[in-house]
Amino acid sequence: KAGVTQTPRYLIKTRGQQVTLSCSPISGHRSVSWYQQTPGQGLQFLFEYFSETQRNKGNFPGRFSGRQFSNSRSEMNVSTLELGDSALYLCASRRQTGSYNEQFFGPGTRLTVL
Amino acid sequence: GESVGLHLPTLSVQEGDNSIINCAYSNSASDYFIWYKQESGKGPQFIIDIRSNMDKRQGQRVTVLLNKTVKHLSLQIAATQPGDSAVYFCAENSNDYKLSFGAGTTVTVRA
């Protein structure tokens, strides 16, 4: 079956702009988590959505937000972009909360902020 | 700060040798640990997991060891192959719906 897909794969923005990233989970998966990956900080948890509800949130400023739709697809939005937001943004899906051994990551969206 | 960390950022290993990747964690409440492999241009891929009520678990060519006394876990890869070249992450979960990742160890396999 199809894996987790993320669009776009690459994105270049300038400071102050906003960006929306999309994640389509594996069919049947209701939980979607988002992570930011940078060389300096590694993988850091942003938030998790399950059945359209945010279940948990990491230590990121309010400029980072997300949502999940009824078909489990998720989007994350970053407003007022800063240079430090340049990163690989990964989403991961699993059937339900827990079951991390059945969590699958997408290839990520590489965001560059100039 | 991070609750999970790795001892070494890089590891170079001869093809056919065994690899050992280490990870230390600080959260005593952590009860579930995962090792991930991330190849260039891809997202992390699940390798093996272990719960805190175990101290060893084996998979295909991989073994994870957990020492709760010193809050340390390791990933052993037997007969390392070129396809094992990647970045390896440990991650921990303490029942709050998220994973905390270590910084990663880049494994390079020498032919």
Q: Tell me: the pLDDT tens digits for A35-87? A: 999 988 889 999 999 999 999 899 999 999 999 999 999 999 999 999 999 99
Looking at the partner chain, which of B32, B41, B98 has a beta carbon nearest the beta carbon of A48? B98
Check residue B2 and give its pLDDT. Answer: 42
User: What secondary structure does DSSP assign to chain B, as a single string?
Assistant: --SEEES-SEEEEETTS-EEEEEEE--TT--EEEEEEE-TTS--EEEEEEETT-SEEE-SSEEEEEETTTTEEEEEESS--GGG-EEEEEEEE-SSS--EE---EEEEEE-
Check residue A1 and give its pLDDT. Answer: 64
Compute CA distances B32 → A50, A63, B29, B52, whole Å. 20, 31, 9, 6
Q: B34 CA to chain A: closest CA distance, Å?
A: 8
Is A111 part of the contact surface with chain B (CB cutoff 8 Å)? no
CB contact under 8 A, A42 and B43: no
Check residue B7 and give its pLDDT. Answer: 67
CB contact under 8 A, A108 and B43: yes
CB contact under 8 A, B98 and A103: no
Is A43 part of the contact surface with chain B (CB cutoff 8 Å)? yes
Q: B89 CA to chain A: closest CA distance, Å?
A: 9
Specify which residues A73 forms β-bridges with.
none
CB contact under 8 A, B98 and A45: yes
Could you give the CA distance from residue B72 to residue A49 in angstroms, rounded to a whole number?
Answer: 30
Residue of B nearest to A33 (CA): B98
Residue of A nearest to B35 (CA): A101
Check residue A40 and give its pLDDT. Answer: 83
CB contact under 8 A, A100 and B104: no
- Percentage, residues of chain A above pLDDT 90: 85
Whether the pLDDT of residue A112 is over 90: the answer is yes
Whether the pLDDT of residue A24 is over 50: the answer is yes
CB contact under 8 A, B98 and A33: yes
Q: B19 CA to chain A: closest CA distance, Å?
A: 22
Residues of B whose CB is below 8 A from A105? 42-45
Mutate to test the interface with B, among A43, A89, A109 (most CBs of B within 10 A): A43
Mean residue pLDDT across chain A:
94
